[in-house]
Amino acid sequence: MRSLDESKEILYVIRTLDVLMGSGVGLEAAIHSIAQGGYGVISKDFSDLMVNINKGRQMEKELRSLLKKAETDGYKRVINTMLNNVTQNTDIIETLRKQGERMEETRTESVKEYIEELGGVPETLLSIGMIGPIILAILGIAPQLMEGAEELFGEMDQSAIMRIVNVGLILTLVGMALIGLKAHTKDPGL
Amino acid sequence: MLYGILEMFRNEPFLLFLITISIACAVGGIPPILERQRRRSIENDLPAMLEALSDSLGAGLGLQQAMMAEAERNSGTLGKLLRETLLESHASTFDSALASFASKSRSPQVQRVMHLVSTAIEQDAPLQEILANMSRDYERLNDLMNRRESDLMGRAILIIMFVSIGLPFLIAFIVGLFAPRSQGFQLEEFNSSFTLFFGAASLVAIGVSGRMLGRLRSYFWWAPLWMAVSMSIYHVGVLVIGG
């Protein structure tokens, strides 16, 4: 959930940092502006960072601990750029602009991939969702259909068959849910 | 005939309860659809508005004047909202009018843009360039959102239709044909298991479809209705086909 939120917000954070720092605002003030809210989990992280800085801890150490907390590559890269700016006085604005462009390309690609990958979900879902119940339905009515043919097929206990059918139906549901889970885990976070 | 249909649900209190709940939830599901339509119409207009504002600033107008010109030009929801905001701004500051515009739009995109515009005004940043950049950014974002919607909508509907209507009808047909109640087949437990399965399968189908389109919560309002439809199709189908 955190990684999805990070990937959703990071591009907007980069654009805001670009505007703020491009107009002469310092890094700490820019972080403070984002910490005030509107950028989900990143606002929360920056707010915690500002609280610790106000307690007297070093910005460098705080950024390093935030780097460990970050889950997505994009967020890690932005924190790393901030860290480099603090330690080596690098040109943060130019780096952020390039990162923003790259991230936008990545986002476009990941949306295209998401649409392509979900292309097969309906077919797979319907295959499992249809074949499973059809087989189980035939199995469930078999003991009564085959009544009188015990010599051919052996004794079939209706309650035992029903237990198998119920387990089969639950497994079909789990299978359907697992296939559908792809829609959640691969979400590009628009 | 009506009594005949009602009689079919005599021993299904859970299904009757679900049908009642589904009507209430379906009514609750309409406002999120309308709200989404309104929000998306505002968001689709946003890049054009930002581009027009950037052009007007380039022509030497102030931001407030540019917004007034855009409010007169734009005949959509965004233009209407902008006109209302600018009217209100006569009684307050321009900054608070921007904040009010953002909150009235109820769109995260507009809220982010307005936040950035106010910050840029505060910091005396080059507004024309910022607006032009944002226009391009949001145009690309909206293109992606619209593409996702158009490409996945058909698939989402296909999943719901097949799982909630096609599947219960098919199984009811098989069971009704091969094990008709009129011939003395005892399938109460079997039918009860399958009825519950179709309800749960519809819930999964709604969940997957909603997640595919990125609006799971608003789709769940329709879950009881589809569950009830699916369970009723199977229940009534078995009784009608099986006699």
Judge whether B53 and B66 are in contact, CB under 8 Å. Answer: yes
Question: Cα(B213)–Cα(B148) distance, rounded to whole angstroms?
Answer: 7
Which residue ranges does chain B devote to CATH 1.20.81? 43-145
**CA dihedral for A120, A122, A125, A131, sign (positive or negative):** negative
For helices B223-242 and B188-212, angle between their N-to-C axes, nearest 10 degrees:
150
Task: Return all residues near A122 (Cβ < 8 A) that are at least 6 apart.
Answer: B155, B158, B159, B162
Q: Which residue of A has its CA nearest to B208?
A: A180
Q: Which of A24, A141, A177 sits opposite B178 (nearest CB)?
A: A141
Looking at chain B, which residue has its C-alpha nearest residue A101?
A: B137
Q: How far apart are CA A172 and CA A132, in angstroms?
A: 6
Asked if A176 lies within 8 A of B124 by C-beta distance, the reply is no
**Which amino acid, A162?**
M
What would the two tokens of residue B20 be? 């009642």
User: Which residues of A fall within a CB distance of 8 Å from B141?
Assistant: 190
Segment A11-20, tens digit of pLDDT: 889 988 888 8
Q: How far apart are CA B144 and CA A190, in angstroms?
A: 8
| Cβ-contact B109, B43 below 8 angstroms | yes
Is pTM, for the whole model, over 0.90? no
At B157, the pLDDT band (50, 70, 90 cuts) reads very high
CB B36 within 8 A of CB B221: no
Query: Helix (H, G, I), strand (E, B), or coil: what is residue B133?
Result: helix
Q: How far is B201 from chain A (nearest CA, A)?
A: 6
Compare CB distances from B189 to A130, A162, A172 and report the shortest one's residue: A162
pLDDT at A4: 81
- Rounded Cα distance between B26 and A22, Å, is 49
Contact A144 B115 (CB under 8 A): no
Q: Which of B163, B171, B201 comes nearest A137 by C-beta?
A: B171
The DSSP code for A182 is: H
- The CATH class, in words, for B43-145 is mainly alpha
* pLDDT band at B1; cut points 50, 70, 90: low
pLDDT tens for residues B73-122?
A: 888 888 888 888 888 777 778 888 888 888 889 998 898 888 888 888 88
On whether the CB atoms of residues A169 and A133 are closer than 8 A, the answer is yes
Best of B50, B193, B227 to disrupt the A interface (most A CBs within 10 Å) is: B193
Q: Is the Cα torsion angle B45, B46, B51, B53 positive or negative in sign?
A: positive
Q: Report the pLDDT value the prediction gives residue B223, as an integer from 0 to 100.
A: 95
Per residue in A164-188, pLDDT (tens digit) is 999 999 999 999 999 988 888 878 7
- For residues B218 and A120, which has the higher predicted lDDT (pLDDT)? B218
Question: Contact B50/B134 with Cβ under 8 angstroms?
Answer: yes
Given CA atoms A24, A28, A31, A32 in this order, what sign does their dihedral have? negative
- What is the DSSP secondary-structure string of A129-152? HHHHHHHHHHHHHHHHHTTT-HHH
Residues of B in contact with A38 (CB under 8 A): 111-112, 115
Mean pLDDT, residues A11-34: 86
How far B207 CA lies from chain A's nearest CA (Å)? 8
For residue A119, the chain B residue with the least C-alpha distance is: B155
**Phi (first) and psi of residue A71, to 5 degrees:** -105, -35
| For residue B149, pLDDT beyond 70 | yes
- For residue B144, give the nearest of A126, A133, A190 by CB distance: A190
How far is Cα A46 from Cα B204, in angstroms, rounded to an integer?
Answer: 37
pLDDT of residue B231: 95
Mean pLDDT of chain A: 88
Quickly state the pLDDT bin for A44 (edges 50, 70, 90): very high
Q: Count CB pairs under 8 A between chains A and B.
A: 140
**Of residues B123, B159, B214, nearest to A23 (C-beta):** B123
In whole angstroms, how far apart are CA B172 and each of B181, B235, B241? 12, 8, 8
- Single out the residue of A162, A168, A135, A136 nearest to residue B186, CA to CA: A162
Sorting pLDDT into bands at 50, 70 and 90, what band is B196? very high
- Cα(A62)–Cα(A31) distance, integer angstroms: 12
Inter-chain residue contact A162 with B190, CB threshold 8 Å: yes
For residue B164, give the chain A residue with the closest CA.
A129
B238 half-sphere exposure, CB direction, 13 A CA radius = 25
In angstroms, the separation between the Cα of residue A180 and the nearest Cα of chain B is: 5
A87-106 residue pLDDT tens: 988 888 899 989 988 888 88
